[in-house]
Amino acid sequence: MSRIFNFSAGPAMLPEAVLQQAKEEMLDWCGSGMSVMEMSHRGKAFMSIAEQAEADLRALMEVPDNYKVLFLQGGASSQFAMVPMNLTRDKRKVDYINTGSWSKKAIAEARRYVDVNLAATTEGSRFTTTPGQSDLRLSGDAAYVHYTPNETIQGVEFPYTPETGTVPLVADFSSSILSRPVDVSKYGIIYAGAQKNIGPAGLTLVIVREDLIGHAIEGAPVMFQYATHSESGSMYNTPPTYAWYLAGLVFKWLQDKGGLGEMAAINQRKAQALYDAVDISDFYANPVDPAGRSLMNIPFTLADPALDNQFLQEAEEAGLKTLKGHRSVGGMRASIYNAMPEAGVNALIDFMAEFERING
By annotation, the residues acting in catalysis are: 102, 172, 196
Q: φ, ψ for residue 121 (rounded to 5)?
A: -145, 140
Alpha helices per DSSP H over 16-113:
16-24, 44-61, 75-87, 101-110
Q: Helix (H, G, I), strand (E, B), or coil: what is residue 62?
A: coil
Instruction: Give the contacts of 155 (CB within 8 A, at least 6 positions apart).
Output: 286, 288, 293, 294, 297, 298, 299, 333
Nearest C-alpha neighbor of 53 from the set 199, 208, 188, 191:
199
Cα–Cα distance measured from residue 174 to residue 170, given in angstroms and rounded to the nearest whole number: 12
Cα–Cα distance measured from residue 276 to residue 49, given in angstroms and rounded to the nearest whole number: 42
Q: φ, ψ for residue 321 (rounded to 5)?
A: -115, 160
CA 260 to chain centre: 14
Nearest C-alpha neighbor of 58 from the set 248, 186, 242, 296:
248
Strand 169-172 vs strand 189-193: parallel, antiparallel, or unpaired? Answer: parallel
Compute how many other C-beta atoms are within 10 angstroms of the C-beta atom of residue 316: 14
Q: Helix (H, G, I), strand (E, B), or coil: what is residue 55?
A: helix
Count of H-run helices and E-run strands, the chain: 9, 14
Cα–Cα distance measured from residue 360 to residue 358, given in angstroms and rounded to the nearest whole number: 6
| Cβ density class 216-246: b for 16+ within 10 Å, e for less | bbeebeeebbbbbbbeebbebeebbbbbbbb
Cα–Cα distance measured from residue 253 to residue 21, given in angstroms and rounded to the nearest whole number: 11
